[in-house]
Structure 1
Amino acid sequence: MKPEDTRQKLTGVFAPIVTPFRDDGTIDFEALKRNVEKLSKTRLRGYFALGTNGEFRSLTYDEKLRVIETVLEVKGDKVLIGGASCESTFESKKLAQDLHRLGVDFVSLMPPSFFARRMTDDALYEYFTEVAEAVDKPVLLYNNPAVANNLCLSPALIARLSEHPNILGLKDTSKGNYDAYIAASEGKEFFVLAGSADFVFPALLVGAVGGVLSLANVFPDLCCDLVELGLRKDLERGLPLHRFVARLNSLVSGRYGVSGVKAAMDLFGFEGGFPRKPLKPLGEKEKEALEREIRELLATFSRSQ
């Protein structure tokens, strides 16, 4: 893939799509399909399937493949990033190869973290490069210490990996390291996606090309507005929207995580469904409070425009 093609494919907003479960724990694939069909009518650049919001650690291997197949059926012209993160190089390679075979555009890899204390930069370098060399699809690193046993990819490792011809970018959710990662890969064909609506706007100002934003599952157009302003470096209009979106995000995924994203989807026109146990859904009082606070915030912002 040419560098300009990679940049174009990654520039914009990606929704890290959820996996809707029924209350018995089975996947509601029809709800997943309806969510993607609805999102495909928006300005989103694409989707990230089998990520944190997709509860990928709670899925069986076969379920992961079926999720990807379902998204591919209805994604239209959107770009699809597929998560291939497993705890071993062996299984990550196998899953990455299967995702390649199915037709994803990019493969995403989070560092294995069960043996976090043994995951040195050298060990992780071997992991990422071995998987990257096993597939003929570009690989994106995924840095999310909060769900990886506090394992955070170092700028030195990112700089090293950015030299690899098949490792072309990074989704960073480390709450502040994005500027270090952009600097570490400066001058290389390596593209950074911010991993949260909390900091996507400042990340764009220092060189990120887009974001993978959980809030885009609920308010995709709002997220697209913010990212477009960031790409244009429009501080006058972008900063007020950034502050508003960050507050909105704190109510949804910031406070409740995946369960909050799913509840907000149910409240605002999508189908979040249940999380898979042992993760618990929001209670009725929590849902009522969430809806009230979101609607109050939306109304306050609307009046200020």
Structure 2
Amino acid sequence: MATPPPDGIYVPVPTFFSSFDKSAYKQPLDIPAQTEHTLFLASAGVKGLILCGSTGEAVHLSLGERVELISSQKKALVEKGYDNVVIMAGTASQNIDETVGVIRESKNAGASYALVLTPSYFAGAGGYSEEGMRSWYMAVADNSELPVLVYNYPAVTNNLQLSLSLMKHLSTHPNIVGCKLSHGNMSHHLILSSSPDIPHEKFRVFTGLGQQLLPLLLSGPGAAGAIDGTAAYFPKTLIRIHALSKKIAAANGNVSAEEWKEVHALQCAFSEVEEWVVKFGTIGIKEAVRKVLGISVGQEGGRLPFCESHVGKEWEKFKPVFEAVQEYENKL
């Protein structure tokens, strides 16, 4: 039976690009900027990175570019003594053969886990059933060379929401070790973290929304942590929320008033700054990496058709909430 990833904070990192190259009709990868960001996150103490996920614009990358990203970042982590930082690879493919192939290449490049996004092309046309989706995931897990985490993100999968009955069934597969839930349904988080029908020791629940971390970690034994975009520039704050929340859960809430006050203040501030990502998504994360960390993300930010020109104009409106979390981050 496969081993789940360690509990903690993981970052779905954006993919950094250089300026548009007319001869190639695209923005080339910017490996130096990618490595600078990777090492910043590793030094802050995150448990792992998700490369080539939704935030990493996997759908805008070739397989060769995905392999280059993973191998280059794995090499940088090992060279700097951060070989304990876990790499999860996104798949974002619609068919089983391609998904399994992407996982194989990702493993060879240095990934330890596969974050498998739900296939969804025909979801809006009524083409999927729970039985079909279950069989798809089971086939991927049967043939995957890496342990699998189910990635439920309705916003990028034609609003396809995986049912609780399906998730419970998938949790029993020996090669499926957890899930990332990128939706606002806390009831599903709680049930999947607490249900007696799920083997919590090997199926771990990660929220994709850092604003839900405190309630998730207090919800049940299967709660593991967060895979969160705002942690791309404020990792220490979310790591601190995780540590306090785990301590509170282990003590059945019997901790000092000061610790309760701190975790509530941190979660509130972090949730407010998350509204930036709620509004601007991947491009917003890149803009914040540029503004907060001073790392160049290229003039265009994301790959076309992404365009970040509208994002910078909104920065001043959000600046106070960024400054509030930055104060916490500096203290940590």
TM-score normalised by the chain length of structure 2: 0.83
- Alpha carbon RMSD of aligned pairs, Å? 2.2
Q: Percent identity?
A: 23
- Counting only pairs closer than 5 Å after superposition, residues 237-252 of structure 1 correspond to structure 2 as 237-250=262-275, 252=276
CA displacement, residues 152-175 of structure 1 (integer Å, 9 cap, x when unaligned): 111100000011000010011111
2:308 matched to 1:281? Answer: yes
Partner residue of 2:256?
none
User: Is the Cα–Cα contact under 8 Å of residues 54 and 90 in structure 2 kept in the other structure?
Assistant: no
Instruction: Work out whether 1:194 is the aligned partner of 2:220.
Output: no
In structure 1, stretches of 5+ residues that fail to align are none
After TM superposition, the structure 1 stretch with the greater mean CA deviation from structure 2, 62-71 or 284-293, is 284-293
Match of 1:103 among 107, 110, 114: 110
Matching of residue 151 in structure 1 with residue 151 in structure 2: no
Residue 282 of structure 2 corresponds to 258
Aligned residue among 324, 327, 330 for 1:297 = 324
Secondary structure of 1:163's counterpart equals coil
Displacement, 1:296?
4.5
1:180 aligns with 2:191: yes
Matches within 5 A, 1:92-171: 92-116=99-123, 117-171=126-180
* Alpha-carbon distance, 1:49 to partner: 1.0
Distance 2:173 2:48 in 1: 24
Equivalent in the alignment of 2:11: 15
1:38-53 aligned within 5 A: 38-53=40-55
Gaps of 5+ in 2: 21-26, 249-258
**Aligned residue pairs, count:** 298
| 1:150 to partner: Cα distance | 0.3
Q: Which residue of 2 aligns with 1:228?
A: 243
How far apart are residue 56 of structure 1 and its match? Answer: 0.9
Classify the secondary structure of the residue corresponding to 1:150.
coil
Tell me the equivalent position of 1:73: 75
Query: 2:58 & 2:173 partners in 1: Cα distance?
Result: 26
Q: Secondary structure at 2:150's aligned position in 1?
A: strand
CA contact (8 A) 2:8 2:225 kept: yes
Deviations 1:205-235 (A, max 9, x none): 1131111010111111111111111212264
Counterparts of 1:97 and 1:151 in 2: how far apart (Å)? 26
8 A contact 1:141–1:170 mirrored in 2: yes
Which has more radius of gyration?
2
Question: Following TM superposition, by how much is the alpha carbon of 1:46 offset from its aligned partner in structure 2, in angstroms?
Answer: 0.8
